[in-house]
Amino acid sequence: MSHDYPGERYIRPAGRLPEIDTRLRVALIYPDTYYTGMSNLGVQAVYGLLDERTPYAPDLFFYQSDFGLYRHRDAARKHSQVRLSDYDIVAFSIPYELQYLNVRRILAAHGIGLAPDDRAGTPVIVAGGIPVTANPLPLSGLIDLAFIGEAEGAFPPFLDDVLHVLPQLKSPQGADARDELLARWHGRPGFWRPQTGGDMPRHTLADLNDYDTVSRIVTPRTVFANRMLIQIARGCAARCKFCLAGHATAPLRLLSKDAIGERAALARDVTNRIGVIASAPTDHPDIADITATLVDDGFNVSFSSLRLSSLTDEMVQCLLRSGQRTVTIAPEVLDENCRKIIGKPFPTNAEILARTRAFLEAGVPRVKYYFMLGFSFEDDAYIARLAQWLGELDAAAQELRPKGEPPLTFAFSFFVPKAQTPFELEPMPARTELQHRRKVLKASFSGRSRLKFESPAWSLLQERLSRGGSDVADIIEFLASERLATSRVNAAIERFNIEHSAAHPQRVWPALR
Ligand code: SF4
């Protein structure tokens, strides 16, 4: 157990290999802050995979525009002398498209070539994560290999091979050796070289029980503070038509009940707080039993999300005991008919209203609802009916909590069509249309509850980073060169004609096998 940074505690489920091989230097980078990265089980799992199952102990980095690359805010000075060019492999773990800008910033700040031909003799650059699995083309100039799918079982042999050819990579003929290495790995499950193209072979872990997908570092300085996260499932049975996570992580695989108990036991000496993570944790067939056992064992349990139809009273009690202040519900759209169109046949509006009342009566401080705007079936009449439905929820809250801060928040994002989903070729409306829908909704809703909206401009940018080709490199360069503000995003939308491409999508991304 290490105490490198205040309050951090380490969990090493499988122990560590006895020998550390320092000949291969691996930098694992989450291209965003420590605060967000420490609650990201993707980067935590890759860190654990490399740290425990290979001899190549990785250095783990985060990024913040004010500090550059760092391990932790307190350690910024310590790491200010780090040069990525000293590493042999730089692996980015990327959960969101907007982090592509930071990938470019990091490479540029460390003098790494921003085009494949300029990188001979420098680290091999690899990137993985859900958006990369869906469409790595926007990053194609910045990376040598995209990692497609899940790293467990696939990434360690690649590291062994890089170590094997390291002398050649560092020799005067390094460019040829690098080319041979990348050509050798392109097309193996999980590896795809953008410069070569073709279908993308996804690597999928067959049995979740073979790997410990839990937090390796438990820390107070993160969203899930002092909580060990356990992933109990990958994939999602629902596979809603708009949801990239539901498609890029398919098929649904479950961790057994016994394995969940074993993972929870790892937390014993570190924390009594556990976060149960999955696309839909309450879809696990044993979730009620698992929850009861964890609670009986003295754990404070919280869930990454809840599906109303499979929620038990015990889970609601867990939520309250775990100190979770906000319960989230994702109706997405107006009603069951519209949910059918987007492939999400739940929850029903009756369930939403009944659960809202039950949450408020049970003492849940805040309920937050996630909706989307921007679908082709919307018109002004739809928005008016939506406002009316929000009004019914708001009225229930006023009846049950007449005083104090309104407990309900309706958070609206704009539907961003994603590559590799059934909606991948849906058009996305222009900013003026999205602003119009937002304006009509605001004007039609008269309740006390808060309405929150994401920015139309940022949503359009996200669309381009999701469905764009290698030409998106110009947009990334334009945006990464300055501190990001909405005015700069609007300038990019004009300059690169993003509204036109969003409204007339072309399938440029490779097929996923
Ligand atoms: S239920 Fe949630 S996680 Fe699953 S596919 Fe639908 S939106 Fe995605």
> Which mutation among 305, 344, 421 tests ligand 1's pocket best, with the greatest number of atoms within 8 A of CB?
344
Apex CA 322: angle with CA 320 and CA 323, to 5°? 70
Q: Which atom of ligand 1 is nearest to the CA of 343?
A: 6
* Residue 230 Ramachandran class (φ > 0 left, ψ -120 to 50 alpha, else beta): beta
Beta bridge partners, 373, equal: 414
Q: Please tell me if the CB atom of residue 395 comes closer than 6 angstroms to any atom of ligand 1.
A: no
How far CA 288 is from CA of 208, 222, 235, 363, in Å, comes to: 20, 27, 20, 21
Cis omega (within 30 of 0) for bond into 156: no
Cα-to-centroid distance, 353 and ligand 1 (Å): 20
Residue 1 has pLDDT above 50, yes or no: no
CATH fold for the domain made of 227-323:
Transcription Regulator spoIIAA (3.30.750)
pLDDT over threshold 70, residue 178: yes
Instruction: Write the burial class of residue 323 (CB in 10 Å: 0-12 exposed, 13-18 middle, 19+ buried).
Output: exposed
The mean per-residue pLDDT over the stretch 453-463 comes to 97
Cross-strand pairs, 276: 230, 303
Counting from 1 in the atom list of ligand 1, the atom nearest the Cα of 279 is 3
Give every CB contact of residue 11 below 8 A, 6+ residues apart in sequence: 214, 215, 216, 217, 218, 228, 266, 267, 270
Tokens representing 151 are 């790293």
pLDDT digits (tens, 9 = 90+) for 223-238: 889 999 999 999 998 8
Q: Is the Cα torsion angle 38, 39, 42, 44 positive or negative in sign?
A: positive
pLDDT at 121 exceeding the cut of 90: no
Amino acid 259: pLDDT? 94
Domain boundaries, given as residue ranges, for the chain: 9-192, 227-323
Contacts with 319 (C-beta within 8 Å, 6 or more apart), sequence order: 302, 303, 306, 327, 364
Q: What is the mean pLDDT of residues 139-158?
A: 96
Check: CATH 3.40.50.280 for 9-192? yes
- The answer to whether 9-192 and 227-323 have equal CATH topology is no
Cα-to-centroid distance, 2 and ligand 1 (Å): 37
Residue-wise pLDDT for 370-410, tens only, equals: 999 999 999 999 999 999 999 999 999 999 999 999 999 99
Residue pair 193/185 in contact (Cβ under 8 Å)? The answer is yes
- Per-residue pLDDT band for 70 (boundaries 50, 70, 90) equals confident
Q: Mean pLDDT lowest for which of 161-165, 313-317, 459-463?
A: 313-317
Say yes or no: CB of residue 240 within 6 Å of ligand 1.
yes
Check pLDDT > 50 for residue 349.
yes
pLDDT band (50, 70, 90) for residue 313: confident
Distance between CA atoms of residues 219 and 226, nearest Å: 5
What does the pLDDT read at residue 301?
87
Measured from the CB, is residue 259 less than 6 Å from ligand 1?
Answer: no
**3-state class (DSSP) for residue 250:** coil
How large is the angle between the packed helices 349-362 and 380-400, nearest 10 degrees? 30
| Contact of 234 with 249, CB cutoff 8 Å | yes
- The amino acid that residue 395 corresponds to is A
Q: Give CA separation, 192 vs 2, 89, 134, 414, in Å.
A: 36, 16, 12, 31
Q: What is the pLDDT of residues 435-444, one digit of tens each?
A: 999 999 999 9
Largest CA distance in the chain: 76
pLDDT at 310 exceeding the cut of 90:
no
Q: Is the pLDDT of residue 111 over 80?
A: yes
pLDDT above 90: percentage of residues in the chain: 74
Task: List the single range of 28-32, 117-121, 262-266, 396-400 with lowest mean pLDDT.
Answer: 117-121
Tell me which of 14-18, 218-222, 335-339 is least confident: 14-18
